[in-house]
Chains A and B, each alone.
Chain A
Amino acid sequence: MSSMQLLDLMVSNQVTTRTQRLLPPEPWASAGLAAHLERHGALVQHPSSDQWREATLGEIERAGLVGRGGAAFPTGQKLRALLAHRGKPIVIANGTEGEPASMKDRVLLARSPHLVLDGAALAANLVGAGEIIMVVHRDVRGSVDAALAERRLIRIDSTKIRVVTAADGFVAGEASAVVNWVGRAAPIPLGKAPRMTERGLKGCPTLVQNVETLAHLSLVGRHGADWFRQVGTADEPGTILVTLAGSLVTPGVFEVAIGTPTSDVLELAGGPSAPIQALLIGGYFGTWISAPASLSVPFSMGGLGVGLGAGLIVALPAAGCGVLETARLVRYLASQSAGQCGPCKFGLPAIAEQLDLLAEGMPVRYDDLTRWVDEIEGRGACSHPDGVARHVRSALDVFGHEVSEHLAGRCSARERQASRAFPTEELL
Chain B
Amino acid sequence: MKSHLVLHIDRIACDARGTCAELLPELMELDDWGYPIIADGPVPQDLERLAHAAVELCPKMALQLRAREGGTRSVLVPTDELRL
Given contacts A193-B72, A194-B72, A379-B37, contact A342 B32 (CB under 8 A): no
Q: Is residue B31 within 8 Å, beta carbon to beta carbon, of the partner chain?
A: yes
Which of chain A's residues 349-408 have a Cβ closer than 8 Å to chain B? 350, 368, 372, 375, 379-381
Complex contacts, A343 vs chain B, CB 8 Å: 11, 31, 33, 35
Complex contacts, B15 vs chain A, CB 8 Å: 342
Closest CB in chain A relative to B74 CB, distance in Å: 9
> Is B10 in contact with A191, judged by CB distance below 8 angstroms?
yes
Complex contacts, B12 vs chain A, CB 8 Å: 190-191, 340-341, 381
CA–CA, A375 to B33, complex, Å? 11
Kindly identify which residue among B11, B16, B32, B34 contacts A191, using a CB–CB cutoff of 8 Å. B11
Give the one of B10, B16, B33, B35 with max A CB within 10 A.
Answer: B35
Closest CB in chain A relative to B22 CB, distance in Å: 17
CA–CA, A341 to B10, complex, Å? 9
Number of A residues near B (Cβ < 8 Å) is: 19
Given contacts A347-B33, A350-B32, A379-B37, contact A341 B72 (CB under 8 A): no
> Is A342 in contact with B10, judged by CB distance below 8 angstroms?
no
> Is A380 in contact with B11, judged by CB distance below 8 angstroms?
yes
A-contact 0/1 string along B69-84, CB 8 Å cutoff: 0001000000000000
Q: Is residue A52 within 8 Å, beta carbon to beta carbon, of the partner chain?
A: no
Complex contacts, A350 vs chain B, CB 8 Å: 32
Complex contacts, A368 vs chain B, CB 8 Å: 32
Which of chain B's residues 29-43 have a Cβ closer than 8 Å to chain A? 31-35, 37
> Is B31 in contact with A341, judged by CB distance below 8 angstroms?
no
Give the one of A195, A343, A375 with max B CB within 10 A.
Answer: A343
> Is B37 in contact with A375, judged by CB distance below 8 angstroms?
yes
> Is B32 in contact with A340, judged by CB distance below 8 angstroms?
no
Number of B residues near A (Cβ < 8 Å) is: 14
Q: Is residue A73 within 8 Å, beta carbon to beta carbon, of the partner chain?
A: no
Complex contacts, B10 vs chain A, CB 8 Å: 191, 381
> Is B37 in contact with A340, judged by CB distance below 8 angstroms?
no
> Is A342 in contact with B33, judged by CB distance below 8 angstroms?
yes
Q: Is residue A346 within 8 Å, beta carbon to beta carbon, of the partner chain?
A: yes
Complex contacts, A342 vs chain B, CB 8 Å: 11, 14-16, 31, 33-35
> Is B32 in contact with A372, judged by CB distance below 8 angstroms?
yes
Kindly identify which residue among A195, A340, A379 contacts B35, using a CB–CB cutoff of 8 Å. A379
Closest CB in chain B relative to A339 CB, distance in Å: 10
Complex contacts, B72 vs chain A, CB 8 Å: 193-195
Complex contacts, A380 vs chain B, CB 8 Å: 11
Closest CB in chain B relative to A214 CB, distance in Å: 27
Complex contacts, B34 vs chain A, CB 8 Å: 342
CA–CA, A341 to B31, complex, Å? 13
CA–CA, A128 to B52, complex, Å? 41
CA–CA, A292 to B14, complex, Å? 45
> Is B31 in contact with A375, judged by CB distance below 8 angstroms?
yes
CA–CA, A424 to B38, complex, Å? 38
Q: Which single residue of chain A is at the shortest CB-CB distance from B31? A: A375
Give the one of A190, A194, A372, A379 with max B CB within 10 A.
Answer: A379
> Is B33 in contact with A341, judged by CB distance below 8 angstroms?
no
B-contact 0/1 string along A54-91, CB 8 Å cutoff: 00000000000000000000000000000000000000
Closest CB in chain A relative to B69 CB, distance in Å: 15
Kindly identify which residue among B11, B33, B35, B37 contacts A381, using a CB–CB cutoff of 8 Å. B11
CA–CA, A379 to B9, complex, Å? 9
Which of chain A's residues 308-355 have a Cβ closer than 8 Å to chain B? 340-344, 346-347, 350
Which of chain A's residues 178-202 have a Cβ closer than 8 Å to chain B? 190-191, 193-195
Closest CB in chain B relative to A387 CB, distance in Å: 15
16 contacts between A and B (CB under 8 A): A340-B12, A341-B12, A341-B14, A342-B14, A342-B31, A343-B11, A343-B33, A346-B33, A347-B31, A347-B33, A372-B31, A372-B32, A379-B11, A379-B35, A381-B11, A381-B12
B residues whose Cβ falls under 8 Å from a Cβ of A: 9-12, 14-16, 31-35, 37, 72
